[in-house]
Amino acid sequence: MDRIKITGGRKLEGIIPISGAKNAALPLMIASLLTADRLTLKNVPNLADVALLARILRNHGVDHSIEGKRASTTHLGETFHLTARDIVDTTAPYEMVSRMRASFWVLGPILARMGKARVSLPGGCAIGTRPVDLHLSGLKALGAEIDIDAGYVVAKAPRGGLRGARVVFPKVSVGATHNVLLAAAMARGETVIENAAREPEVGDVASCLVKMGVAIEGIGSSTLRIQGRDRLEGAVHTVLPDRIETGTFAFAVAATGGDVLLEGARTSLLETALAALAQTGAEITEERDGIRIRRNGSGVDPITVETQPFPGFPTDLQAQLMALMTTARGTSVIRETIFENRFMHVQELARLGADIQLHGDTATIRGVKHLRGAPVMATDLRASVSLVIAGLVADGETTVNRVYHLDRGFERLEEKLGRCGAAIERLSSG
Ligand code: UD1
């Protein structure tokens, strides 16, 4: 299993190119199931989760090819061509879906196009119970008949296919919004999704569906109005930049000090997180080709933050913020309201000397003067990158074990940080 070794204490200076958003690329790839024509996606990040989903889609019968490297693209990712001429298999098996939760989102589109689907209940990061009740109630509202059989969701559309309906989510869910949006694209008539997730990745998928011929109103708002079509066309779409990767590197620069341009990043995708970062004393400027983050000399000021659905502070940046707060000049408070068990990094940060108290959904972080390097264990995707940030700040050597979590969601992390002066290397243990 690979490990990452970091020798902390160096400032970050330079340019970090921001990749395409994993959380948009995945549902966009799934949208290819809705058409027999070709869907071309540009700026797809090269990640383990993307490769796994490509395998799952190929198993359903999707033809998938990747264009070769292009010389002129610095921060642009890969170009995928996906064609689901026929869906030859409507089952998404346990061995695949259990490894990545987002693959459960094939349920809506396969059901809508084929009239039936059998998809394993999902797995994914161990960050608390992550039910799928909202996905299922949304699809039921479109007329689906749903049973659970031996760990699989078995869904059937009524004769004549899914029909548009009003879906009111009692709670904001990114995944349930994707699943129902993708199904509604091929349902007869109008679907209105209320209390839809407003995350930019949902908007990116909706914009791609519009290119595929679906009329959608309210993109970016919590009410989506979708006019389903029985045939969707192919399209060409560019994946938006990854706001979580952007925030992660922004927090890393604030933690180590330095001056970095996050090339290709957009402030509009993470205003709340950047506002929090500004409160800690970092300087943030929007430049023509990205966002520049600077912190020189001054200490880190403590803050109080609560995670919320977009446009609030993202839960996917909570662990990274906590790493930054470990050496703040005072006491910070972070409340996690989205996932109940998303504090697994706390124990590992404590191994580096962080002073963090947990009470239910609230972490109180008393800033310490120095962290000290130590071996730590990555537990989930975002938690593991918080350990990298802490390692960059800590005196001496930190080794992060189980980095396969990182490879699921961060493209070329050690190379991007290394180019900015970090002493970071991957140790492969074949
Ligand atoms: C997505 C993101 C993940 C992010 C999360 C919240 C992707 C691939 N993953 O995950 O990175 O952390 O949004 O921003 O885009 N819930 C239910 N019933 C359901 C579905 C969800 O109760 O049927 C609950 C969850 O347990 C959680 C909350 O709703 O407490 C939000 O989850 P959700 O937005 O669905 O997260 P994901 O789509 O899994």
pLDDT digit string, tens, across residues 201-248: 999 999 999 999 999 999 999 999 999 999 999 999 999 999 999 999
Residue 23 CA: which ligand 1 atom is closest?
15
* Residue 310 sits in the same domain as residue 231: no
Range of the domain at 37: 22-238
The predicted model gives 81-105 an average pLDDT of 94
102 CA to centre of ligand 1 in angstroms: 9
| Domains in the chain, number | 2
Find the 374 Cα to ligand 1 centroid distance in Å. 32
In 10 A of CB 161, how many CB atoms?
Answer: 18
- Specify the pLDDT at position 126: 47
Check if the beta carbon of residue 369 is closer than 8 Å to that of residue 327: yes
Distance CA 334, CA 28 (A): 32
Q: Which residues are CB-neighbours of 159 under 8 A, at least 6 positions away? A: none
Ligand 1 centroid to residue 421 C-alpha, Å:
35
User: Does residue 82 register a pLDDT over 50?
Assistant: yes
- Return the residue whose CA atom lies nearest to atom 29 of ligand 1: 173
Atom of ligand 1 nearest to the CA of 22: 8
Rounded to 5 degrees, what angle do the CA atoms 351, 357, 363 make? Answer: 105
pLDDT of residue 415: 94
**End position of a domain, from candidates 209, 238, 267:** 238
What separation in Å is there between the alpha carbon of 116 and the centre of ligand 1?
Answer: 24
> Is the pLDDT assigned to residue 128 strictly greater than 80?
no
CA distances from 422 to 249, 363, 426 (A): 12, 28, 12
d(CA 43, CA 66): 11
- Looking at the structure, do residues 153 and 292 belong to the same domain, yes or no? no
pLDDT (tens digit per residue) in 138-189 = 999 999 999 999 889 999 999 999 999 999 999 999 999 999 999 999 999 9
Using the 3D structure, point to which of 238, 271, 287 is the last residue of a domain.
238
User: How much of the chain is in helix, strand and coil states, percent to nearest 5?
Assistant: 35, 30, 40
Task: List the beta bridge partners of residue 78.
Answer: 44
Contact criterion met (CB below 8 Å) for 248 and 410: yes
pLDDT above 90 for 265: yes
260 shares its domain with 229? no
109 contact partners, CB below 8 Å, separation of at least 6: 30, 31, 33, 34, 182, 183, 185, 186
**Secondary structure letter of residue 289 according to DSSP:** T
- Scanning 212-299, the segments in alpha helix (DSSP H) are 243-256, 271-279
Report the CATH number that the domain containing residue 305 is assigned in CATH. 3.65.10.10
Instruction: Tell me how far apart the alpha carbons of residues 201 and 204 are, in angstroms, rounded to a whole number.
Output: 5
Active site residue 125: yes
Choose between 263 and 381: higher pLDDT: 263
User: What pLDDT score does 124 carry?
Assistant: 46
Q: Among residues 206, 238, 270, which one ends one of the domains?
A: 238
Catalytic one of 117, 125, 155, 354: 125
Q: Kindly report the average pLDDT of the chain as a whole number.
A: 94
How far is residue 428 CA from its own chain's centroid?
A: 26
User: Does one domain contain both 283 and 178?
Assistant: no
Nearest CA to ligand 1 atom 32: 173
The DSSP bridge pattern shows strands 91-92 and 116-120 to be: parallel
172 shares its domain with 272: no
CA of 142 to the centre of ligand 1 (A): 21
Report the SS3 class of residue 348. Answer: helix
Ligand 1 pocket: which residues have CB below 6 Å?
23, 26, 101-102, 130-135, 171, 173-176, 201, 315-316, 338-339
Q: Which among 56, 168, 174, 382 is the best mutation to test ligand 1's pocket, defined by most ligand atoms within 8 Å of the CB?
A: 174
